[in-house]
Copies of this chain bind each other. A is one copy, B any other.
């Protein structure tokens, strides 16, 4: 867990390295994207997801380009980063790739947004043959329970299981004092991942620790990355606390599977 200390509050992506997953070395300089001709440099970038796909790591992030949208790029070594394109038009956030082709196509979850603190949000899926052109959009799911009633968005890259794709997502409730972020979880169909096979009937985590309740943005737990060990089924989830610290929580595939099946 480490404190965000960029005093400029600039939203830029930085590479980080760790030998144990706890102690992280964050590069002081933000990532410089190699940008193809005709593509604008990011105005800002935040909430990245990293996905190993076929032969390299792909990064999708909330990219500042005439509003927030989904930037997509890749790296093989976390030293050199190449931006591909903006996958979607503004306004969009929480773009998350699936870690393999499904039915021959790349697939991405995203949450269409507006240009502010968007007070609505549902999860959609888009398909592509080249990671550049996206279409065959399918609607995945919308808020259903009180704790997620304002909006939902995909969290870490989905985890493949025999029974479907395990998706941890965030859900937001609007109290009279602002947004409260929670975790939810659901299971998506393996072959048609826009179909929700199971969905937990409660939240999985809510802000209950002081470092989740107090900070730059109170009452936020925001899951962004998950490491799953296929041998043991253990899962480590990195998530933001109060938009101020990065936290780490542990669970297992079995636990999540029990949870989403209710």
Interface positions, chain A 15-71, Cβ under 8 Å from B, are 38, 40, 65-67
Is A90 in contact with chain B by the CB < 8 A criterion? yes
The answer to whether A179 touches B176, judged by C-beta atoms less than 8 angstroms apart, is yes
Look across to chain B and name the residue whose beta carbon is closest to the beta carbon of A243: B175
Query: Please, which residues of chain B bring their CB within 8 A of the CB of A145?
Result: 8-10
Asked whether A214 and B214 contact (CB < 8 A) given A89-B110, A177-B177, the answer is yes
> Which single member of B9, B10, B136, B219 contacts A177 (CB below 8 Å)?
B219
Judged by a CB distance under 8 angstroms, whether A129 is at the interface is yes
Q: How many copies does the complex hold?
A: 6
In the bound complex, residues from chain B placing their C-beta under 8 Å from that of A88 are 88-89, 137
Q: How far is the CB of A140 from chain B (nearest CB, A)?
A: 10
- The answer to whether A177 and B178 touch (CB under 8 A), given A134-B134, A138-B38, is yes
CB atoms of A176 and B175 under 8 A apart: no
Interface residue stretch chosen among A75-83, A112-120, A158-166, A229-237: A112-120
Q: Given B66, B135, B137, which contacts A122 in the complex, CB threshold below 8 Å?
A: B66
Measured in the bound complex, the distance between the Cα atoms of B219 and A176 in whole Å is 11
